[in-house]
């Protein structure tokens, strides 16, 4: 075994990842969602070469949503959860995992996992992963460990992964290819009847079963079902139904998915087990259990919180229903296929994916000019061309921003309660230098769907960059805790939050957890942080990367930062870090 935890002669990174998926899918791994995130986080950070950052402070922020004031001595949450996780891993390997080849453990005294190989287990066929895992792993002795990416000579890229990626491709292929979405009625009376030809996926929320005796469990099951429905219908990209519509034997009008589950009440312990079923073949494509102590918040608040978590997990952007390979859905211009294309593009962030998604949305807009979702996402595409121009090789112009603003306004007029349309309007106003308008639109988006982590995260970013760091950073932290957006996108927001409050160590940790290849501006954030820390050699590495990959950014650092950070004092702090890193800043423009 190497000190990085992988014996590369016998266990590959792909094997470790697939073992993680096997554990999380096992019925014998009985921990709630937070412990599962704990395991996934420490495993993936180790594989990505960031083993040394796995401290109680880092885990508390990334998994438990704690802020910079976290004190491991006063708050033992990480230590307690790690103990539970160790015991559950032992249970798994005594039951389902007895014959598994790869053994994952978390030794006492730390939170970095160790990956060992069972020499008596039969080797299993390992499916190749879609992306390399990131920088080379480093052992405790400083020796670099060769990664799979090193062997084939490809550029490292931080991993963009979620447990649901294993089923997402099959789910989305069915959703995009099978024309089974017909006219159904939404539970929200203001939505009215969905128009014929609506291709959004429809989900029937079945009444949760009460598996405990007595009226309290029955009441909770009924109440949670209603809460889940109320929160899910706020996600405008899906259709929620409570009964299968009459169809005269025509299967194509039935909902594609069914959300099923149960509620168990044992004293003050509430457990809810949920599963998402594809109705065409009864395949379970997602399942999860949620545990809560009703003494902490009381039954109504606990019930509502769990319902929000469930609705977010099922219907959120970038979740199981919105992940797909671009090639699978290219060439189809129905509205939902184009929505899938957009989320696939945001995960890839490549020029080709942008072209596919934009072309699809433009065609869908021509066919369905009254579709608020299509207009909103087309607005966001144009906004990306403006704000991510260095990554997407586009030219940011006032015309591009104007088109984005018009599309966002159109989307809001079509549906004033569409949180995605309001999110697009918020970004258009923000980059159009209308801070009050942006925050008004963001507040409306958040009010309409506070369970949409992408809305929460983007609103948090705009609040923070407008100078409202305390409130904005709380929302960004909430979004990260709910796995919002492409992996690493909101982590850079957490890095800025720590940087602006002067916690440079946390700022560096969060910055390195962000996807540094998603947008060169992420590299610029790390450059400023490293400069403020006095780490000139590491800062020089980032500076050389920026000069080599996006040289145009070097001469445009000041305007790029100014259009993101509204307050002069925030700009000055950021520029001071950049100058300390060795990049001379040009003088202010006359109009700054």
pLDDT, tens digit (0-9, with 9 covering 90-100), for 91-120? 888 888 888 889 999 988 889 999 888 877
**DSSP string computed for 247-305:** -TT-GGGS-SEEEEEEEEEETTEEEEEEEEEETTTTEEEEEEEEEEEHHHH-HHHHHHH
Counting residues of the chain whose pLDDT is more than 70, the rounded percentage is 79
Q: Where are the alpha helices (DSSP H) in 330-387?
A: 335-348, 351-367, 372-387
Tell me which of 323 and 66 has the higher pLDDT: 66
Tell me which of 517 and 529 has the higher pLDDT: 529
Q: Hey, CA dihedral for 496, 391, 454, 412, is it positive or negative?
A: positive
Section 379-393 average pLDDT: 95
Would you state the pLDDT for residue 37?
Answer: 87
Residue 493 token pair: 């927001």
Would you state the pLDDT for residue 337?
Answer: 83
Q: What angle do CA 349, 512, 493 make, to 5 degrees?
A: 70
Question: Helix 372-387 vs helix 419-431: angle between axes, to the nearest 10 degrees?
Answer: 30
Half-sphere exposure of 128 (CA within 13 A, CB side): 6
Beta carbons of 357 and 345 less than 8 angstroms apart: yes
Q: Give the best-scoring range by mean pLDDT among 114-123, 333-342, 363-372.
A: 363-372
Beta carbons of 236 and 322 less than 8 angstroms apart: no
| Bridge partner list, 291 | 271
Counting residues of the chain whose pLDDT is more than 90, the rounded percentage is 45
- Grade residue 247 by pLDDT with cuts at 50, 70 and 90: very low
Would you state the pLDDT for residue 210?
Answer: 93
Whether the pLDDT of residue 148 is over 80: the answer is no
pTM to 2 decimal places: 0.67
Please tell me whether residue 159 adopts helix, strand or coil conformation: coil
Instruction: For 458-503, write each residue's pLDDT tens digit.
Output: 999 999 999 999 999 999 998 988 888 887 899 999 999 999 999 9
Instruction: For 171-227, write each residue's pLDDT tens digit.
Output: 333 333 333 233 333 333 333 334 455 677 889 999 999 998 888 889 999 999 999
Beta carbons of 408 and 424 less than 8 angstroms apart: yes
Equal CATH topology for 169-315 and 467-592: no
According to DSSP, residue 145 is labeled: E
Would you state the pLDDT for residue 323?
Answer: 52
Would you state the pLDDT for residue 132?
Answer: 34
Would you state the pLDDT for residue 592?
Answer: 52
Instruction: For 48-60, write each residue's pLDDT tens digit.
Output: 888 888 888 888 8
Whether the pLDDT of residue 151 is over 70: the answer is no
Residue 520 token pair: 């060169």
The CATH number corresponding to 467-592 among 1.25.40, 2.60.40, 1.10.10, 2.30.30 equals 1.25.40
Would you state the pLDDT for residue 516?
Answer: 81
In 3D, which of 343, 347, 392 has the Cα closest to residue 488? 347
Instruction: For 6-18, write each residue's pLDDT tens digit.
Output: 444 456 788 898 8
Would you state the pLDDT for residue 172?
Answer: 33
Would you state the pLDDT for residue 156?
Answer: 30
How many beta carbons lie within 10 A of that of residue 305, not counting itself?
15
Tell me which of 385 and 37 has the higher pLDDT: 385
Tell me which of 426 and 271 has the higher pLDDT: 426
Q: Quote the CA–CA distance of 453 and 121 in Å, as a whole number.
A: 41
Sequence-separated (6 or more) residues with CB below 8 Å from residue 90: none
| Bridge partner list, 204 | 241, 258
Beta-sheet pairing, 137-138 with 144-145:
antiparallel
Would you state the pLDDT for residue 158?
Answer: 33
- Grade residue 332 by pLDDT with cuts at 50, 70 and 90: low
Whether the pLDDT of residue 169 is over 60: the answer is no
- Grade residue 515 by pLDDT with cuts at 50, 70 and 90: confident
Q: Quote the CA–CA distance of 442 and 572 in Å, as a whole number.
A: 26
Beta carbons of 508 and 533 less than 8 angstroms apart: yes
Q: Quote the CA–CA distance of 110 and 78 in Å, as a whole number.
A: 10
Section 265-270 average pLDDT: 89
Q: Of all helices (H) and strands (E), which one includes residue 103? A: strand 102-105
Beta carbons of 57 and 506 less than 8 angstroms apart: yes
How many beta carbons lie within 10 A of that of residue 547, not counting itself?
12
Would you state the pLDDT for residue 244?
Answer: 63
CATH of segment(s) 169-315 = 3.40.50
- Grade residue 589 by pLDDT with cuts at 50, 70 and 90: low
Would you state the pLDDT for residue 185?
Answer: 32
Q: Tell me the backbone φ, ψ of residue 43, rounded to 5 degrees.
A: -65, -50
Beta carbons of 435 and 566 less than 8 angstroms apart: yes
431 by Cβ neighbours in 10 Å (0-12 / 13-18 / 19+) ranks as buried
Q: Quote the CA–CA distance of 262 and 212 in Å, as a whole number.
A: 9
How many beta carbons lie within 10 A of that of residue 251, not counting itself?
9
Q: Of all helices (H) and strands (E), which one includes residue 549? A: helix 536-549
Residue spans per domain, the chain: 13-159, 169-315, 467-592
Would you state the pLDDT for residue 245?
Answer: 57
């Amino acid at each position: 075994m190497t000190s990085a935890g992988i014996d590369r002669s016998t266990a590959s990174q792909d094997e470790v990842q697939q073992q993680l998926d096997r554990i999380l899918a096992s019925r014998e791994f009985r921990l709630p969602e937070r412990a599962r995130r704990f395991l996934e986080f420490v495993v993936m950070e180790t594989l990505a070469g960031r083993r040394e950052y796995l401290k109680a402070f880092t885990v508390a922020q990334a998994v438990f949503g704690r802020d910079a004031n976290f004190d491991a001595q006063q708050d033992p949450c990480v230590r307690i959860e790690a103990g539970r996780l160790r015991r559950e891993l032992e249970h798994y390997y005594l039951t389902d995992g007895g014959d598994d080849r790869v053994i994952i453990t978390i030794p006492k005294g730390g939170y970095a996992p160790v990956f060992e190989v069972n020499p008596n287990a039969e080797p299993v066929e390992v499916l190749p992963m879609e992306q390399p895992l990131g920088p080379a792993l480093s052992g405790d002795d400083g020796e670099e460990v060769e990664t799979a990416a090193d062997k084939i000579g490809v550029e490292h890229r931080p991993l963009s992964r979620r447990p649901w990626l294993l089923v997402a491709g099959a789910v989305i292929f069915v959703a995009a290819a099978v024309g089974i979405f017909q006219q159904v009625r939404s539970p929200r009376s203001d939505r009215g009847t969905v128009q014929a030809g609506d291709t959004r996926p429809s989900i029937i929320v079945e009444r949760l079963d009460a598996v405990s005796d007595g009226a309290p469990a029955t009441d909770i099951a009924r109440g949670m079902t209603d809460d889940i429905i109320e929160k899910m219908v706020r996600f405008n990209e899906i259709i929620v139904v409570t009964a299968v519509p009459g169809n005269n034997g025509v299967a194509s009008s039935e909902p594609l998915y069914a959300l099923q589950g149960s509620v168990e009440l044992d004293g003050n312990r509430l457990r809810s087990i949920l599963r998402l079923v594809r109705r065409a073949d009864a395949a379970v494509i997602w399942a999860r259990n949620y545990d809560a102590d009703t003494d902490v918040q009381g039954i109504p608040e606990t019930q509502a919180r769990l319902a929000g978590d469930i609705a977010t997990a099922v219907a959120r952007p970038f979740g199981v229903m919105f992940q797909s390979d671009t090639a699978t859905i290219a060439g189809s211009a129905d509205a939902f296929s184009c929505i899938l294309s957009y989320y696939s593009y945001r995960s890839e962030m490549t020029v080709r994916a942008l072209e596919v998604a934009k072309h699809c949305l433009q065609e869908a807009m021509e066919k369905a000019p009254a579709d608020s979702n299509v207009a909103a996402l087309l607005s966001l595409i144009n906004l990306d061309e403006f704000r991510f121009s260095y990554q997407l090789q586009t030219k940011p112009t006032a015309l591009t921003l104007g088109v984005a603003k018009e599309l966002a306004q159109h989307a809001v007029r079509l549906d004033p309660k569409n949180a995605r349309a309001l999110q697009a309007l918020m970004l258009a106003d923000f980059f159009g230098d209308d801070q009050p308008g942006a925050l008004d639109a963001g507040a409306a988006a958040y009010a309409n769907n506070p369970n949409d982590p992408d809305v929460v995260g983007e609103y948090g970013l705009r609040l923070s960059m407008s100078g409202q760091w305390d409130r904005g950073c709380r929302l960004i932290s909430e979004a990260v805790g709910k796995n919002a957006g492409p992996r690493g996108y909101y982590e850079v927001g957490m890095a800025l939050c720590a940087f602006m409050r002067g916690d440079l160590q946390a700022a560096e940790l969060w910055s390195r957890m962000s996807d540094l290849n998603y947008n060169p501006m992420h590299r610029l954030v790390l450059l400023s942080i490293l400069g403020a820390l006095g780490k000139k050699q590491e800062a020089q590495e980032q500076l050389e990367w920026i000069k080599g990959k996006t040289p145009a950014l070097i001469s445009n650092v000041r305007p790029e930062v100014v259009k993101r950070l509204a307050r002069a004092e925030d700009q000055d702090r950021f520029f001071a870090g950049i100058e300390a890193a060795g990049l001379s800043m040009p003088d202010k423009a006359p109009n700054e």
